[in-house]
Amino acid sequence: MTVLRWLHTIQSGTVKMYDPQGYYLKQIPIANLTLRTGYYAVDNNIDYMTQGAFRQASGKFDHAIDPELGESALGPHQRASDTLTNDLSKNRYFGLQPYVKYLELCRRRPFKKFEDLLHVMDPERVEMLQEVYEHLEDVDFQAGLWLENFVEGGHVPATFYCVAVEQLLRSMASDRHWYERPNRPNAFTLPQLQEIRKISIARVLCDVGDSVTRIQRQAFLRISPSNPLCGCNEIEGIDFWAWEDNSCSNDGSYHGPDYQS
């Protein structure tokens, strides 16, 4: 979804690397990694980056973008490009409606002039839009999101929240192969669904990260006293016995992963 490109505003412009014990090693501008997959194979960079994935903080939830991303999107490959310009252009390439159309859809009220935006953003930000756009319906969707106030009790623009949630709900409702649908061929059983729902990003990183032996249970949140590091053997995973098929001939043995070892 193009609306998710707003998340570039909370992305850090540098990738920080840590060793498995959590000691900071180095950092590299994220733009310099574009199309440089070979860098990950050098030394233990992929392991250091995996550690940084759950140790490094995100960018601030504000209305600014990290200079590393704002001034260069592709690093040395194309210095004249930047992330925000690319995001704005993609909104136009995909033929998205003006910002005000989504605003009216979510707010269920008309917005006819720039002054109406004072209900959703600060006066100085409305002035910024007036300096760039001649008419309210000229305002690009992404540009409006960059300046809009956050939803009450949250850290994202209200219209971003509205559009993203609506799209996710529609995707689940319209996907006839959605994994939770009970009326499709070979649908998951309830015990299988219960096992699938146990999976977390922490468990995934434990399973695929070669150097990950300790991680916080809520890996999308920072390590803290309320979200401390714990051993991977303490992170719940899937019990594949839920997929046991008695109709298949076997020796009765099971060699799945042991999350308690």
Whether the per-residue pLDDT at 4 is higher than 70: the answer is: yes
What residue segments make up the domains of the chain, in order of their start? 1-96, 97-174
Give the pLDDT band of residue 32 (cuts 50, 70, 90).
confident
pLDDT tens readout for residues 113-170: 999 999 999 999 999 999 999 999 999 999 999 999 999 988 899 999 999 999 999 9
Check residue 259 and give its pLDDT: 59
The amino acid at 257 = P
| 8 annotated binding-site participant | yes
- Count the helix, strand and coil residues of the chain and give each as a percent rounded to the nearest 5: 45, 10, 45
d(CA 246, CA 141): 54
pLDDT tens readout for residues 73-104: 666 666 666 778 888 888 888 888 999 999 99
d(CA 94, CA 81): 19
Whether the per-residue pLDDT at 33 is higher than 90: the answer is: no
d(CA 183, CA 180): 9
d(CA 15, CA 115): 40
Average pLDDT, the chain: 87
Whether the per-residue pLDDT at 108 is higher than 70: the answer is: yes
Phi, psi angles (nearest 5°) of residue 94: -85, 0
Share above pLDDT 90 across residues of the chain, in percent, rounded to a whole number: 58
Region of 149 on the Ramachandran plot (φ > 0 left; ψ -120 to 50 alpha; else beta): beta
Beta-carbon contacts of residue 177 (< 8 Å; ≥ 6 apart): 184
* Per-residue DSSP letter, 18: E
Structure tokens at 225: 């006293």
Residue predicted with more confidence, 87 or 69:
87
